[in-house]
């Protein structure tokens, strides 16, 4: 059974701090991993993708993947109030991408 697990939060950090979001998955055959951001009432918006073990950086965002531990994380540096949203971890195998329930992040000014 394909499961993607995230802490639901809420996670609250002060402006300028690092926010750390975590995700585990159960399907060892998963091939690609994504972080989406979802504002209330809106559709998911892709912010990061990662396919290989290690770190991938894009601006203030760093995704980390450890396939042996079945673990994906997202770090947001210099967090801004506009980063306040629900962050969805998504895991893809073949043509079937599944989402975690999301972690709600609040960045306080």
Partner 1 sequence: EPEVTQTPSHQVTQMGQEVILRCVPISNHLYFYWYRQILGQKVEFLVSFYNNEISEKSEIFDDQFSVERPDGSNFTLKIRSTKLEDSAMYFCASRTGTGAWQGGYTFGSGTRLTVV
- In the complex, the smallest distance separating the C-beta of residue 102 from partner 1, rounded to whole angstroms, is 7
Burial annotation 68-101 (CB, 10 A radius, 16+ → b, else e) = eebebbbbbeebeeebbbbbbbbbbeeeebbbbe
Structure tokens at 100: 């975690």
- φ and ψ at residue 79, rounded to 5 degrees: -55, 140
| Nearer to partner 1 among residue 17 and residue 101 (C-beta) | 101
Residue in 10, 15, 16, 42 binding partner 1, rule: CB under 8 A = 42
Residue in 17, 44, 67, 71 binding partner 1, rule: CB under 8 A = 44
Query: Is position 102 an interface residue for partner 1 (rule: CB under 8 A)?
Result: yes
Question: Residues 4-33 vs partner 1: string with x where CB under 8 A?
Answer: ---------------------------xx-
Query: Is position 98 an interface residue for partner 1 (rule: CB under 8 A)?
Result: yes
Element (H, E) at 95: none
CB 74 within 8 A of CB 59: no
Q: Which residues contact partner 1 (rule: CB under 8 A)?
A: 31-32, 34, 36, 38, 42-46, 49, 51, 88, 90, 92-102
């Amino acid at each position: 059974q394909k499961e993607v697990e995230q802490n639901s939060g809420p996670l609250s950090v002060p402006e300028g701090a690092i926010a750390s979001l975590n995700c585990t998955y159960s399907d060892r055959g998963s091939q690609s991993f994504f972080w989406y951001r979802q504002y209330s009432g809106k559709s998911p918006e892709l912010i990061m993708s990662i396919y290989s073990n290690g770190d991938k950086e894009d601006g203030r965002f760093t995704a980390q993947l450890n396939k042996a531990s079945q673990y994906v994380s997202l770090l947001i540096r210099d967090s801004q109030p506009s980063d306040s949203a629900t962050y969805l971890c998504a895991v893809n195998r073949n043509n079937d991408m599944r989402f975690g329930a999301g972690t709600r992040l609040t960045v306080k000014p």
